[in-house]
Amino acid sequence: MAVVSLVDRPGGWRRLAWWASRRMFGGTVPDPLRAQAHHPGVLVASGVLETAVGRGWRRLDPGLRWLVVQAVSSAIGCSWCTDYGYWEGVRHGIDPRKVRDVPRWRDSDAYDDRERLVLEYADAVCATPARLTDDLAARLRQAFTEAEIVELAGWVALENYRSRANAGLGLVSQGFSDRCALPGGG
């Protein structure tokens, strides 16, 4: 149950955010937006951050980006983010086995070596305290450019922000994953 009420119809300039989100999310206004509507400063800051990231973070392969975001939301246990990430993965053509297996990636044969490295990195830096070893850092430097590593760290940090904010507001699955069907029973 959400800690704050979820705004249905905002007033003033916030109506623009509703209009844009309905276009982006198939007629749905995401619950994080509905919760943030109580605080215009948080709403604007989140929107500016997401816009800047969407336009400027393009060094990392989109499939790896999705994978690290989904791994972080799963590690934190944010059901809203995991649900949305599932939908986003299916919508962007991620292999259905990869979509299903993120929480159990160590036991899955769905991932290649770079994907496993990204998943290991997400696990390591989401731990408290972070467990970034010299060995893991060396393997990252062999597999990725410095710009890709910086972006990878940025995606981990951004999804920590999103997932922890959503979990802290008590937001739960909004049913995004119900809108998609995975071949093979996903």
State both tokens at 138: 């060396």
Global pTM? Answer: 0.91
Q: What is the mean pLDDT of residues 48-58?
A: 95
Same domain, 83 and 163: yes
Residue 163 has pLDDT above 80, yes or no: yes
Is residue 9 in some structural domain?
Answer: no
The CATH number that applies at residue 141 is 1.20.1290.10
Is residue 174 in some structural domain?
Answer: yes
Same domain, 84 and 159: yes
Chain position carrying tokens 């500016």: 48
Same domain, 105 and 152: yes
What pLDDT is stored for residue 177 in this prediction? Answer: 75
Q: Are 157 and 20 in contact (CB under 8 A)?
A: no
How many angstroms separate the CA atoms of 63 and 104, rounded? 17
Which residues span the domain enclosing 119? 62-179
Is residue 44 in some structural domain?
Answer: yes
Tens digit of each residue's pLDDT (9 = 90 or more) over 31-46: 999 999 999 999 999 9
Q: What is the mean pLDDT of residues 94-107?
A: 92
Q: How many domains does the chain have?
A: 2
Same domain, 50 and 18: yes
Nearest to 176 by CA among 89, 96, 65, 105: 89
Tens digit of each residue's pLDDT (9 = 90 or more) over 166-185: 999 999 999 887 766 655 54
Same domain, 109 and 33: no
Report the range of poorest mean pLDDT among 69-78, 108-117, 154-163, 176-185: 176-185
Chain position carrying tokens 């980006």: 65
Chain position carrying tokens 């989904």: 70
